[in-house]
Structure 1
């Protein structure tokens, strides 16, 4: 296990980030989650039914971040169910299989659905999974890079089987989520401070009787 692993007991959690895994069935979403959350890979993995989630805690900038990663079923009959789980997600892993062109062609539809349900500031990572099967590749890296650049997504190729880029993909996504959240918190804090300072130092000057009657601004004396 890497140095980012931390026991989830007896520690303070600074942030909890919900991340969803989406993409067609059998692209390896559950295997990617198992590899990241438990450092496991199952050769007899079965299709996900509905929605499952697992957690892992990492450290970013000395902050403890608990990732709550949701694994959504890719089958069409579960689409209406899983769409509700986009709510509250601050990150998404959009997964296709580099050996199945159709799974990449469907990415645009998954992305449209994601953006229709999720927060506009959601951090999205495009993952071309099963890169260990390079001899069976049908989706060129260039096609994925072009799509990711056009849609402003992160992009990596991964292998849940041999762990290639799995750690990097999740930690990059979670780190960028942290940056977005921290920036929003800092902006909100600065706005509050600015509003507070605007309430200070407002002096009301009561004109004396010998001030000119031609003054352009007056503060009425006496009561109405």
Structure 2
């Protein structure tokens, strides 16, 4: 389940819902370092894996999110094996990578209270890269084969946009591209996931053997749920007027 509100309270509420993973998004949501830190702290006591998506595949940002204590990152817009290699390098200390060393200042090391953190940090880090373009689909096998890429997450929305059918995640060409990517990642022996808010699509991908699926988001659930509640009690004309503010 995605957590996009930027609220630690909502993150904690969602973390207790029973999902396997809680996806804290900093790419398309009002999240910065401080709010992601608060949400990581809020969900820590629950049996869900917190997954954080930085806004971009950037060495400095990846270092900062890891230092906050995020252990599983989903890196967006990975189009090639070189992009995937850059993400992996950013997540690991030298000599394997280029992650800057500041463990004495970082929650990830419990401020150096974790013995041998610097030598063991790689054991705690999971890197998932996103395939979400036609170029990435063509390079899926090479991306998945990169050493240090633990899994691949497929984003049909941006994929549809890159294929010229924006907003049509269920377009046959998009579905075929997703299926092609799933097969390529599976053949590489890596975990593969997909975003699918529609139940029929989610179950279809689960039947294909994907390992994880994003099936909903806090803000979407609140939007649709509040609309449904209003529809029961508010005249339709009044509801439409309330939903169209003159300005922001």
TM over 0.5: no
Larger fraction in helix: 2
Higher RCO by CA contacts (8 Å cutoff, separation 6 or greater) = 1
Larger fraction in strand: 1
* TM-score, with length taken from structure 2: 0.35
* TM-score, with length taken from structure 1: 0.38
Larger radius of gyration: 1
